[in-house]
Amino acid sequence: MAGAPLRAGLVLLLAGAALATGVGGALGGTGTGATRHLLYRLVGCRSHGSAAYFHGPALREVAVGFDDGPAPDTAAFVSMLETAHVRATFFMIGDQLSSTYRATLLRELRDGDVLGDHTFTHPDLNTSGEVRSQLQRTIAAIRTLSGYTPCIFRPPYGDYDTAVLATARSLGLATVLWNVDPSDWSLPGTGAIEQRVREQVRPGSIIISHDGGGPRTETLAAYPVIFAALRRRGYRIVTIPELLGFRPLYRPCIRLCDGIGVPRAGLPRAAIIEPAL
């Protein structure tokens, strides 16, 4: 029976190698026996186009972008979206990103929400003279906390020019504006937010609202009613990249998937799979 210890040692060695490469187990995959299936995590999206987007194609779809987070109300927005079974896009200010919000960002990614760039300090980019730095620093902050690289950007106040567009494009960012604005930042009341969205929405609309920049309880209360009304009108509610036809990027989990890894069979049909780094 001298070969038994050798065989046992070989099994342990192979198991350790599988874990080290992220195949199987908690480090990146699932499965039993000889067949193991890698998990894949969302790492970004592939945008296109050189002009600013105010809306998507005239299909029965709409997308909502929440600006100025992450903020104290952001986790409540994520909970609201989970309850409504809706995915949204969060345009984040880089200077507000910290380890405090890491779990919230990972939760957004796990739910299928999208993370977008809203500059580092929320300046008017037409006059700031630091467009590239504002965008790059926010990309780096988002990537550091979540492993995700945004492919969309919303300029503060909606202010941009051709130089802003070109700089964003050079960083892989599509510039996204909106064509539905309930002015929720002004705290007009929950009913007014609901009514303004319902009146302005058209097929392919991009809606702007806010999860940061102040108390957002009115906005938070308005959106379950808005989502229900949109669905009654036959609208499908999607993320902004999905509305615009941008493809999500996935990569095999070599390190911890942070609870957001999915098997290959669960990837969107349009997904691009990148090689592991």
d(CA 162, CA 147): 30
Residue 63: CB atoms within 10 Å: 26
Please say whether the beta carbons of 106 and 259 come within 8 A. yes
Whole-angstrom CA distances from 168 to 15, 47, 52 are: 45, 11, 10
Q: Provide the β-strand partners of residue 151.
A: none
178-198 b/e with 16+ CB inside 10 Å = b? Answer: bbbbbebbeeeebebbbbbbe
67 is catalytic: yes
Please say whether the beta carbons of 220 and 77 come within 8 A. yes
**CA–centroid distance for 202 within its chain:** 23
Per annotation, catalytic residue among 67, 113, 117, 211: 67
d(CA 70, CA 26): 29
Per annotation, catalytic residue among 113, 118, 210, 211: 210
Q: Could you tell me which of 265, 242, 224 has the C-alpha nearest to residue 46? A: 242
47: alpha, beta or left? (left if phi > 0; alpha if psi -120 to 50): beta
Residue 180, both tokens: 């539905």
String of DSSP letters for 233-246? TTPEEE-HHHHHTP
d(CA 222, CA 62): 16
Overall residue count recorded for the chain in this entry:
277
Catalytic residues: 67, 210
